[in-house]
Amino acid sequence: MVIGYQPSGMDISRDIAGVAKEVHVAMRSEPPYQMHTTTATGHANLWLHSCTIERAEEDGSLVFQDGSKIKADVVLHCTGYKYNFPFLGDSDDELAGAISVDDNRVGPLYKHVFPPMLAPHVSFIGLPFRTIPFLVFQLQSKWVAGVLSGRLELPSQEAMMRDVDAFYSDMEARGCAKRRTHDLGQGNPFEYEDWVAEQCGLGRMEGWRKGMFVATCKNLADRPDSYRDE
């Protein structure tokens, strides 16, 4: 039983299907290219369930929200990360008061990187997901390096907080959960990447790179087992 079907869950479930009798995948949302329980994955023994597990029973059965059940020898969580920064201090510490984690929202952070109360001395690299990860991390690193070196300037603490508040208000108005705060896949494609690149004086991402990413995402949905080899 694999819980989660983002890139890691997709890859791991397919690897396991080569040796397991059956592999079942539970996800919160519908599969990207099929609906409901299906074996249309290129593997006859790999099942996708577009619902989550409601409970585990004493005999080892896992019961889904739709009432169906299976028995599994292993339950593997591919559900992402829970952000936690205990080294930032206890509840009475200035750092702890400036940074908190609420339902996986690390904040307040200006553009997912700088906490306004502590900038530029504290910054976060690599929080965003559903993006081109290492490109984003590189751009964020260049931005932080530019700020620390004095080549680039940040807005005032007040201006950064206003930006954060506006971002949170927009998320709330759209009904987005806090745990989606750092999800770059829900807005305009490449808007964040282009913004950070421009802050660094690099210009917007090249069109060919954007096209390659879009094409790869489509190939992943159409041919998840072979798209890397094509």
DSSP state of 55: E
**Dist CA 99 CA 222 (whole Å):** 41
Question: Mind listing the pLDDT tens digit for each residue in 129-155?
Answer: 988 899 999 999 999 999 999 999 999
Q: Is residue 176 part of a domain?
A: yes
Residues 73 and 6 in one domain: yes
Residues 48 and 104 in one domain: no
Number of structural domains in the chain: 2
Tokens (6 digits) for 187:
């807005």
A 10 A CB-CB count for 110 gives 21
What pLDDT does residue 167 have? 97
**Dist CA 168 CA 111 (whole Å):** 11
Residues 72 and 28 in one domain: yes
CA nearest to 193, candidates 136, 125, 119, 145: 136
What pLDDT does residue 224 have? 77
**Domain ranges, residue 30:** 2-80
Residues 104 and 207 in one domain: yes
What pLDDT does residue 37 have? 46
What pLDDT does residue 165 have? 97
What pLDDT does residue 96 have? 62
Residues 25 and 118 in one domain: no
Contact 150, 190 (CB under 8 A): no
Residues 116 and 161 in one domain: yes
Q: Is residue 17 part of a domain?
A: yes
What pLDDT does residue 195 have? 96
Tokens (6 digits) for 168:
């949170």
A 10 A CB-CB count for 217 gives 14
What pLDDT does residue 213 have? 87
What pLDDT does residue 29 have? 65
Residues 71 and 106 in one domain: no
With a cut of 70, list the residues of the chain below it in pLDDT: 29-41, 89-96, 230
What pLDDT does residue 182 have? 96
**Dist CA 51 CA 27 (whole Å):** 6
Tokens 């954007």, located at residue: 210
Residues 65 and 113 in one domain: no
